Amino acid sequence: MLTLGGCDPEPARPAVPVADAALAQARMRMVREQIVARGVADPRVLEAMGRVPRHEFVPAAVRSQAYEDWPLAIGYGQTISQPYIVAFMTAALAPRPGDRVLEIGTGSGYQAAVLAGLVAEVYTMEIVEPLAQRAEADLKRLGYANVKVRAGDGHLGWPEAAPFDAIIVTCAPEDVPQPLVDQLKVGGRMIIPVGSQWGAQELYLLRKTATGLRRQGVLPVRFVPMVKGH
């Protein structure tokens, strides 16, 4: 090959596998059409949603639907929330780079992965032990080193790691568990769906003050119930 001025030719760039490119395009379309179009504007949250490979957190049988606008079954009667809900709850929590966050309801591990790029540490609990084990393995495989996973009853929280700057709950108790309130820092935020399995559920943003909780209803929702341990 002839070169001018003694310059070496530009090295060839490795080709991006077609499947990976298609998934990246689907992820960008998800952010644009499902999240931005519905009012989520936090640039850090949008960047995280565009970066985390949601298809790695769903069963192979439904991987082709990973970036569609609906929840997907992940086994054991549990689901991965639709992308918009993940983005909405994450943005409502207003995560900061130095935060330590507790998640109740690990499920597939996807929400924890989104948070991992936004905060310092994520502690996530899942009552279905096989799901906790699978999520822990997937998070480790994908390099999310600042996430700790525990199998256990989310009603009890993670007291030895408390207090937390923020708590996100991705399953619905009938009332806000007091141990979670106790484990939240003064000035901290909690986003949590509350209501019965068969009745109305409301997503609440709670802020802990020196004198108690401030509660703001933000969205009607439908989550799987928060199960108590035996």
Catalytic residues: 81
From the number of C-beta atoms within 10 Å of its C-beta (0-12, 13-18, 19+), residue 3 rates as exposed
CA angle 124, 151, 67 (to 5 degrees): 50
Q: Please give the full DSSP string across 183-230, using - where no structure is assigned.
A: TEEEEEEEEEEEE-SSS-EEEEEEEEETTEEEEEEEEEE---B-PPP-
| Diameter of the chain measured on Cα atoms | 76
Give the number of other CB atoms < 10 A from CB of residue 138: 18
Q: Which of 34, 82, 89, 24 is nearest to 58 (CA)?
A: 82
The C-alpha atoms of residue 86 and residue 93 are separated, in whole angstroms, by 11
Q: What is the CA radius of gyration of the chain?
A: 20
The phi, psi pair for 151, rounded to 5°, reads -90, 125
CA 60 – CA 80 distance, rounded (Å): 14
Q: Residue 122 pairs with which residues in a beta bridge?
A: 101, 147
